[in-house]
Amino acid sequence: MTSQTEIAVIGAGIAGLAAARTLAEAGRSVVLIEAQNRIGGRILTTRDPATDLPIELGAEFVHGRPPELLDLIREAGLTVYERKGDFLCYENGKLGDCGFFDEAFGVLEDLPESPDIPFAEFLTQKRVPDHIAARATAYVEGFNAADSTRIGTAALHKQQQAEKSVSGDRSFRIIEGYDRLAQFLCDRFTTFGGQLHLDTPVIQIRWQAGDVCISTANPALPEIRASRGIIAIPLGVLQSGSPRIMPEPARHIDAIGKLAMGPATRITLLFRDRFWGASAPNLSFLFADDKPLTTWWTAAPNPSPTLTGWTAGPRALRAGAGTARKEEALATLSVIFKRPDLSGLVVSDHAHDWQDDPFSLGAYSYSPAGAVTASDDLAAPVDRTLFFAGEHTDSTGNWGTVHAALRSGLRAAKQALSE
């Protein structure tokens, strides 16, 4: 059976949902096709009755004050709180203030747009002292899920400018949970007549100008035909060659190959109480560069007794998964806080393996040296028929964020409407 529609949107993450909602509200006939049995993609929120604050397994922070995202949060009637508290480091066996932070961030202020070289090479060329280079590398890899021997200075320069424009040094959380934002977009989409198909992985997209034929692995809906298609699936999935796009749009496939999908590992432990209060009462972020999980954060100033451990970039691939990850996390915290009894304090632990998830195949994208314009190429329409969306198609320097995904979805909807 073939289903016919005006516009098909593939992928119900924030990008696909934002595009689908905009198009449905503009009166278009739209289907939204999602591989999994849930919406949200890399927004994945869980709840534990032992704490009021939802636990995020994917995106957690609103980075800075990006207007599109804050407007949407407001429209959805959701509330944010600003993350505040102390930044501490665990170094040489001691928990205390972090050294060389200003010097490390100073390095990022000085990045050349041209020539666009890998960050690690830039550090060597500039003869940045080892201890400052190590801290700057830990930050760049941890924040961007990137390999410092690949991520380009031009992309980092662009990202620094983008962050400044939205006060990116501030961060916020949605009290009701990030998933409520995805649900709001979906509700608007269906209220305006949009059709959502879950459990429908797309395996092939055949197209010619004005005609898109989408094959799926859902036997109840094997084929969907549309005049235009928005492809809002993650870079990692596109790089795996699935779904196959025929004929291949050469410029876009080339751009997909140039960008990189970075890995990240995270675990949130919910404790009976905020045991760290004795040694670090206002703890917000804790950096432990020599541990398998290098970055830790609390929910401060929210009192939820959670600690989240994080490692991204090449080190994420070496961090354990499953039970090993929980044991590693507890071992690290026991050493840092000198509390050998921590396992008895754990109420629950929460993690998701983004690298192994076939519908993300990584955490988020970054731009290697020489690829800073690849996302611009991806954002260009293909013969007025196919449009790519998703955080990796962001051309404003915000790769790897929810606001980048949201912007890209709004951009793709506008492109589809104008064709």
Ligand X SMILES: Cc1cc2nc3c(=O)[nH]c(=O)nc-3n(C[C@H](O)[C@H](O)[C@H](O)COP(=O)(O)OP(=O)(O)OC[C@H]3O[C@@H](n4cnc5c(N)ncnc54)[C@H](O)[C@@H]3O)c2cc1C
Tell me, by CB under 6 A, how many residues bind ligand X. Answer: 39
Max CA-CA distance within the chain? 65
Per-residue CA distances from 38 to 33, 45, 230 (Å): 11, 11, 19
Q: Can you tell me the distance from the alpha carbon of 228 to that of 213, in angstroms, rounded to the nearest whole number?
A: 9
**Stretch in the footprint of ligand X (CB under 6 A) among 205-213, 290-298, 357-365, 410-418:** 357-365
Among 58, 229, 249, 263, binds ligand X (CB under 6 A): 58
- Candidates 61, 81, 100, 192: give the one binding ligand X (CB under 6 A): 61
Asked whether the CA dihedral 147, 169, 355, 391 is positive or negative, the reply is: negative
Q: In this complex, which beta carbon is closest to ligand X, that of residue 280 or of residue 412?
A: 412
Task: Write out the two tokens for 158.
Answer: 């662009």
- The count of residues in the chain is 419
When asked if residue 34 is in the footprint of ligand X (CB under 6 A), the reply is yes
Establish if 60 lies at the interface with ligand X (CB under 6 A).
yes
Toward ligand X, which CB reaches closer, 80 or 107?
A: 80
- What residues from 225 to 254 belong to the interface with ligand X (CB under 6 A)? 232-234, 237, 243
* Sites for ligand X among residues 259-288 (CB under 6 A): 264, 266
Q: Which residue in the set 5, 7, 9, 11 belongs to the binding site for ligand X (CB under 6 A)? A: 11
Q: According to the binding rule CB under 6 A, does residue 72 interact with ligand X?
A: no
Interacting residues with ligand X between 290 and 329 (CB under 6 A):
none
For the bound state, the minimum distance from the C-beta of residue 312 to ligand X, rounded and expressed in Å, comes to 8
Cβ proximity to ligand X: between 35 and 333 the closer is 35
Sign for the CA dihedral angle at 142, 143, 146, 150 comes to negative
Contact flags string 159-178 toward ligand X, x per CB under 6 A: --------------------
Ramachandran bin of 322, using left for φ above 0, alpha for ψ from -120 to 50, beta for the remaining angles? left
Of these, 8, 9, 12, 80, which contacts ligand X (CB under 6 A)? Answer: 12
Figure out which of the listed residues 7, 14, 174, 336 binds ligand X, where binding follows CB under 6 A.
14
Q: Which of 15, 154, 155, 255 binds ligand X (CB under 6 A)?
A: 15
Q: Which of 5, 7, 9, 13 binds ligand X (CB under 6 A)?
A: 13
225 Cβ partners below 8 Å, 6+ apart? 2, 3, 4, 5, 211, 212, 213, 214
Bond preceding residue 201 cis, omega within 30 of 0 = no
* Inter-CA distances, 367 with 40, 97, 354, 410, Å: 24, 32, 19, 22
**Phi and psi angles of residue 129, each rounded to the nearest 5 degrees, phi first:** -55, 145
Within 312-401, residue ranges assigned H as helices are 314-318, 322-336, 374-379
Query: Helices (DSSP H) in 259-399: which residue ranges?
Result: 314-318, 322-336, 374-379
Residue the block writes with tokens 């278009």: 28
Smaller CB distance to ligand X: residue 382 or 405? Answer: 405
Q: Which is nearer to ligand X, 59 or 133 (CB)?
A: 59
Q: Is the peptide bond before 247 cis (omega within 30 degrees of 0)?
A: yes
The stretch near ligand X (CB under 6 A) out of 33-41, 79-87, 131-139, 377-385 is 33-41
Q: Does 105 bind ligand X (CB under 6 A)?
A: no
* Closest CB to ligand X: residue number: 13
Report the residue from 137, 332, 360, 367 that binds ligand X according to the rule CB under 6 A: 360
Shortest Å, Cβ 179 to ligand X:
11
Contacts of ligand X in 362-391 (CB under 6 A): 363-364, 390-391
- Would you say 300 and 282 are in contact if contact means Cβ atoms under 8 Å apart? yes
Chain positions 388 to 407 lying near ligand X, rule: CB under 6 A, are 390-391, 400-402, 405
- CB nearer to ligand X: pick between 232 and 260: 232
10 near ligand X, judged by CB under 6 A: yes
* Bridge partners (DSSP) listed for residue 55: 46
Paired tokens of 250: 């050469």
CA-CA distance, 151 to 160, in Å (whole number)?
Answer: 14
Q: Return residues touching ligand X (CB under 6 A).
A: 10-16, 33-36, 41-43, 58-61, 63, 201-202, 232-234, 237, 243, 264, 266, 354, 359-360, 363-364, 390-391, 400-402, 405
